């Protein structure tokens, strides 16, 4: 089963994703694919909280901030994967340090292709993204490109997923399929 979860910040996406991944794993191997590459203290604190939240849940953590298909090297594709998040992965790919954080739009397209390939390569996956493109504020060009690329990725992931869930104010809105907790 492939489940795509999106929603606003701090709405309960990670908790739902963990619970769903554990349910899908049924006591078997389950991986937490961490995509955030920390750049400041706030990022490191967020990572610390996420590590603490999943302590004792038996996740094997795979750090994979770029080239997402590489997380499958040595992993059991019959296991369950929780990928958190497509949002951070896109940021890493779109603004790579080796290009002095200049926008690399072709990398965003590759990121979308790799994420859908990832979803098609594993038995179970829960993929988390953030809903960042619905406000009325006018942003600079790079932010608008980022939002558009994330929207494209989210649509592609929704298309290949068995279940699509939006988390809003702690409530689950199932747009496709069914939650199996």
Q: What is the pLDDT of residues 78-133, one digit of tens each?
A: 999 999 999 999 999 999 888 888 889 999 899 999 999 999 999 999 999 999 87
Contact between 105 and 147 under an 8 Å Cβ cutoff? The reply is: no
In a domain, 23, yes or no: yes
In a domain, 181, yes or no: no
Comparing CA positions, the residue from 54, 4, 14, 50 lying closest to residue 166 is: 4
Contact between 94 and 65 under an 8 Å Cβ cutoff? The reply is: no
Q: What is the pLDDT of residue 54?
A: 86
Tokens of 146: 């980022």
User: Would you say residue 136 has pLDDT above 80?
Assistant: no
User: What residues contact residue 15 under an 8 Å CB cut-off, 6+ apart?
Assistant: 53
142 pLDDT tier (thresholds 50, 70, 90): very high
Q: What is the pLDDT of residue 50?
A: 83
Q: What is the pLDDT of residue 75?
A: 98
In a domain, 59, yes or no: yes
Instruction: Say how far apart CA 87 and CA 96 lie, in whole Å.
Output: 14
- Digit-coded pLDDT (tens) for 6-44: 998 888 898 999 999 999 999 999 999 999 998 889 989
Q: What is the extent of the structural domain holding 87?
A: 2-175
Asked whether the bond before 143 is cis by omega within 30 degrees of 0, the reply is no
In a domain, 108, yes or no: yes
Average pLDDT over residues 148-160: 96
Q: Looking at residue 101, which CATH number applies to its domain?
A: 3.40.50.300
In a domain, 135, yes or no: yes
Strands (E), the chain: 2-7, 30-34, 60-63, 80-84, 124-128, 163-168, 171-176
In a domain, 87, yes or no: yes
- Digit-coded pLDDT (tens) for 38-71: 888 998 998 888 888 889 999 999 999 999 999 9
Q: What is the pLDDT of residue 120?
A: 97
Residue 145 φ then ψ, to 5°: -65, -45
Contact between 131 and 175 under an 8 Å Cβ cutoff? The reply is: no
User: Would you say residue 161 has pLDDT above 90?
Assistant: yes
Number of domains in the chain: 1
Instruction: Say how far apart CA 159 and CA 177 lie, in whole Å.
Output: 11
In a domain, 180, yes or no: no
- Residues in the chain, overall count: 181
In a domain, 149, yes or no: yes
User: What residues contact residue 22 under an 8 Å CB cut-off, 6+ apart?
Assistant: 30, 57, 58
């Amino acid at each position: 089963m492939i489940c795509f979860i999106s929603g606003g910040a701090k709405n309960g996406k990670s908790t739902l994703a963990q619970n769903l991944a554990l349910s899908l794993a049924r006591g078997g191997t389950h991986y937490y694919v961490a995509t955030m590459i920390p750049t400041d203290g706030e990022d490191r604190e967020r990572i610390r909280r996420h590590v603490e939240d999943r302590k004792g849940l038996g996740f094997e953590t795979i750090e994979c901030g770029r080239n997402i298909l590489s997380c499958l090297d040595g992993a059991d594709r019959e296991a369950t994967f929780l990928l958190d998040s497509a949002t951070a992965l896109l940021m890493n790919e779109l603004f790579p340090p080796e290009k002095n954080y200049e926008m690399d739009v072709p990398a965003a397209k590759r990121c979308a292709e790799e994420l859908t390939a990832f979803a098609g390569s594993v038995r179970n996956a829960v993929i988390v993204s953030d809903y960042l493109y619905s406000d009325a504020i006018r942003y600079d060009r790079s932010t608008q490109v980022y939002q558009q690329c994330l929207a494209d990725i989210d649509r592609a992931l929704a298309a290949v997923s068995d279940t699509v869930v939006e988390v809003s104010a702690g409530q689950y809105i199932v747009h496709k399929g069914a939650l199996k907790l």
